[in-house]
């Protein structure tokens, strides 16, 4: 019973590099979300998706891109990494609006 | 834009005592949902309790209950008979009924002392 799986768990990037954070869920959830968690700042919504082929911006989308080609996967792409993107990233999914959101274990990203 | 405010960065409580964590939110909507999530040191986010705005009755889950004051836009979490395992970050979250966004507050770190 995997739930929401994020990879990698940790990553160090150099300024200007790119990478993709992977998120997969096996619960057949339509709604998927990406958040970043900075110390003392809570969780900020980056992007979200309500189904395959549909994505929308959240509160802090700049510097990120997403795609949703399947129900299961919702990768987050960082282009030209910057120190300001150092954070813990969480992926979440839920069956429909207003239901419980299930979270992955997070990815700790450091940009140096 | 909707905002969620948790004014207590840190709280502490003695084991077996009761503690209340505050949350206020800003919205012009009448239909929405509110959540409390717990994040222990493992980083795993766990749903604690959920409240629908149209329900007058405060939600309760075992030792966890809320005080939902719709007019005041307040949604506090009360933890009774606190246990060491309750130590964690607690996040309040808001979901407007006709949108798909789930917005979180900045969190309150709860320490539980034996």
Tell if the CB–CB gap between B100 and A98 is shorter than 8 Å. no
Q: What is the pLDDT of residue A110?
A: 96
Which chain B residues in 32-91 lie under 8 Å from chain A, judged by CB atoms? 33, 35, 42-45, 47, 50, 52, 91
Q: For residue A43, what are the contacts with CB-CB under 8 A and spacing of at least 6?
A: A35, A36, A37, A90, B91, B104
Task: Write out pLDDT tens, residues B69-101.
Answer: 999 999 999 999 999 999 999 999 998 777 788
Across the interface, of B50, B91, B101, the residue whose CB is closest to A42 is: B91
Q: Does B104 touch chain A (CB under 8 A)?
A: yes
Q: Which two tokens stand for residue B58?
A: 């405060």
Write out the two tokens for B91: 């996040």
Q: Is the model's pLDDT at B30 over the cut of 90?
A: no
pLDDT at A40 over 90: no
**Residue A72 and residue B102: Cα distance in Å, rounded?**
20
């Amino acid at each position: 019973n995997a739930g929401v799986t994020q990879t990698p768990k940790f990553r160090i990037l150099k300024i200007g590099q790119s990478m993709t954070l992977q998120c997969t869920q096996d619960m057949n959830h339509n709604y998927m979300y990406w958040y970043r968690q900075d110390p003392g700042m809570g969780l900020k919504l980056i992007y979200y998706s309500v189904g395959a082929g549909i994505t929308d911006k959240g509160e802090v989308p700049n510097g990120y891109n997403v795609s949703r080609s399947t129900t299961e996967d919702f990768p987050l792409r960082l282009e030209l990494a910057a120190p300001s993107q150092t954070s813990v990233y969480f992926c979440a999914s839920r069956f429909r609006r207003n239901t419980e959101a299930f979270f992955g274990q997070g990815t700790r990203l450091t940009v140096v | 834009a909707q905002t969620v405010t948790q004014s207590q960065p840190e709280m502490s409580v003695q084991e077996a005592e009761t503690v209340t964590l505050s949350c206020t939110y800003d919205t012009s909507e009448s239909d929405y949902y509110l959540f409390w999530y717990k994040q222990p040191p493992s980083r795993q986010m766990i749903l604690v309790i959920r409240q629908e705005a149209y329900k007058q009755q405060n939600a309760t889950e075992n030792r966890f209950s809320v005080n939902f004051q719709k007019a005041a836009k307040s949604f506090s979490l009360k933890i009774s008979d606190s246990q060491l395992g309750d130590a964690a970050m607690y996040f309040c979250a808001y979901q407007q009924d006709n949108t798909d966004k789930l917005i979180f507050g900045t969190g309150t770190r709860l320490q539980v002392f034996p």
